[in-house]
Amino acid sequence: MNSENILIIPRKILRSVLAVLLGLLMTFACFAILYFDDFFEVDDWMRAVSAFGVVFFALCTLAIIKVRFKNRNVLIVNNEGITDYSSSIALGFIPWSDVEELYITKVNDVKFIEVAIKNEERYLEKLKGWQRKAIGINRKMGQQVVLINLTFTGHDPEEVLNVMQEAFSQHQSD
């Protein structure tokens, strides 16, 4: 079987840059409140919240940089399987032979493509501890290990799901 790409969803660089700039702005705003505490008349509670904000937004910004600039594509679908880079807890390449089911789910009005896979533990053991914990939280909420988020890609999850299901069906018939 040839691994010709059926669908490639690239990451939108402008949106990634804007996300990084927003993260830097929030980090700087929290830092400014700490640094100019006399000007802002900051009490101890606000100082603690600002310090937490500096750490939180700096870490979020670093995570955005790592995820959004490491992989140029969000999703690749081909005859061999799917390669998911849609989030920091994405599993990467999943062959069609490990896929059981594909469907749409909605979480807080955001549509995700869920992928039920065989041998979940084999994939989870390759992840870092914090990634396994994040996936565990999703599992407790009734979600699959694989949640493909296309929110910032401009692609309709329903249309992408149709392409994925067609490729999956083709694999099953081979």
Model confidence over 68-79: pLDDT tens digits? Answer: 676 678 999 999
What's the pLDDT tens digit per position in 118-148?
A: 988 899 898 889 899 999 998 998 899 999 9
Lookup: tokens for 46: 């606000």
Q: Residue 3: what pLDDT?
A: 62
Q: Are the C-beta atoms of 88 and 133 separated by less than 8 Å?
A: no
What's the pLDDT tens digit per position in 73-113?
A: 899 999 999 999 988 889 999 999 999 999 999 988 889 99
Cα gap 62→133, rounded to integer Å: 19
Residues pairing with 73 in the sheet? 10
In the block, residue with structure tokens 């995820």: 67
Q: Residue 71: what pLDDT?
A: 64
Lookup: tokens for 11: 């990451």
Does domain 72-173 fall into CATH 3.40.30? no
Return the closest-CA partner of residue 171 out of 123, 100, 85, 93.
100
**Amino acid at position 51, single letter:** A
- Give domain limits for the chain: 11-70, 72-173
Q: Are the C-beta atoms of 95 and 168 separated by less than 8 Å?
A: no
Instruction: Name the percent of the chain lying above pLDDT 90.
Output: 51
| Strand 110-117 to 73-78 pairing | unpaired
Q: What is the pTM of this model?
A: 0.73
